């Protein structure tokens, strides 16, 4: 933003803009709010923007306010024709028009999308990088079946960062693996509403649901023989799949459910398919095993 030929007041406004907006935006995401004292909608929007900026401060988001009456040159550079006008700025450039987002939910959605796309420096990103090796270790240990050791690692992570959703979800899954379903359910129920909607928590909730339905079977081989002799017995197939899951044999459980679906996709309102999808979510939708099983399911449903 050139200052040649500007009045002293405009030059001062440009320098203030560089200091308050452009320089911070080199590493942060700046919410730039154009407002005026006489603007009623601006006053209504201000508390929401301040709350959002405060909530997202650890993620590298800051709020900068521009009074259009005191900064006419700056407003003109951004072609502000009505207020409130709100932009997101990164590295000195507008990266999104936030003006249409007048609710907290809409603003959060837009900011979350921007934060996923842009290399914003933040406390949260730094902390995430520090915790990543511990999280990977906990997941590896849990995958190997050592749920008590995994619990200890997740507890260590949560001492360092109590609100880490991935660790909260991992701890709940470790509790499920240890047979402590009630504790896992209570931990998930105690989460704040915004955290409870996260995909990591949905995975933990599916693990709890799966543990409730995966009932151990005393003689799996006899039940498997019964299902093999009468594949139309979907009740027995569901019982077999539950027993296989309880025994930790997800391959066998998936095979049993896929076979049941192939025979009758709609049996009991798609119960086998729903159970399989719950298993997928409990394992993790990004897991390669889930991707392979999904391809088998698609072949049955659409082949």
147 assigned to active site: no
* Catalytically annotated residue among 30, 39, 86, 297: 39
* Catalytically annotated residue among 31, 32, 42, 204: 42
DSSP the chain: ---TT--HHHHHHHHHHIIIIITGGGTSEEEEEEE-TT-HHHHHHHHHHHHHHHHTGGGTEEEEEEETTT-HHHHHHTT--SSSEEEEEETTEEEEE-TT--SHHHHHHHHHHHHHHS----HHHHHHHHHHHHHHHHHHHHHTT-HHHHHHHHHHHHHH-TT-HHHHHHHHHHHHHTT-HHHHHHHHHTS-HHHHTSHHHHHHHHHHHHHHH----S-HHHHHHHHHH-TT-HHHHHHHHHHHHHTT-HHHHHHHHHHHHHH-TTGGGTHHHHHHHHHHHHH-TTSHHHHHHHHHHHHHHH-
Annotated catalytic sites, by residue? 39, 42
């Amino acid at each position: 933003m050139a200052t040649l030929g500007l009045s002293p007041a405009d030059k001062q406004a440009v320098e203030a803009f560089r200091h308050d907006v452009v320089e911070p935006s080199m590493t942060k995401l700046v919410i730039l709010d154009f407002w005026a004292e006489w603007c009623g909608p601006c006053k209504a929007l201000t508390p929401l923007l301040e709350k959002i900026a405060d909530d997202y401060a650890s993620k590298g988001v800051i709020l900068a306010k521009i009074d259009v009456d005191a900064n006419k040159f700056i407003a003109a550079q951004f072609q502000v024709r009505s207020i409130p006008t709100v932009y997101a700025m990164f590295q000195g450039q507008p990266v999104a028009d936030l003006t249409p987002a007048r609710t907290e939910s809409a603003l959060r959605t837009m900011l979350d999308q921007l934060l996923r796309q842009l290399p914003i420096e933040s406390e949260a990103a730094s902390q995430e990088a520090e915790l990543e090796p511990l999280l990977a270790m906990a997941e590896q240990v849990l995958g190997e079946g050592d749920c008590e050791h995994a619990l200890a690692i997740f507890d260590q992570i949560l001492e360092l960062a109590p609100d880490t959703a991935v660790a909260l979800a991992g701890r709940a899954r470790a509790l499920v693996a240890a047979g402590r379903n009630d504790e896992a359910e209570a931990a998930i129920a105690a989460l704040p509403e915004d955290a409870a909607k996260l995909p990591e928590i949905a995975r933990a909730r599916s693990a709890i649901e799966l543990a409730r339905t995966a009932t151990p079977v005393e003689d799996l081989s006899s039940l498997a023989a019964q299902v093999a002799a009468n594949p139309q017995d979907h009740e027995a197939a569901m019982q077999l799949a539950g027993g296989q899951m309880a025994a930790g044999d997800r391959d066998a459980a998936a095979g049993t459910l896929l076979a049941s679906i192939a025979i009758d996709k709609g049996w009991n309102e798609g119960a086998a398919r729903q159970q399989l999808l719950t298993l997928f979510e409990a394992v993790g939708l990004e897991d390669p095993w889930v991707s392979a099983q999904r391809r088998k399911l698609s072949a049955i449903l659409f082949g």
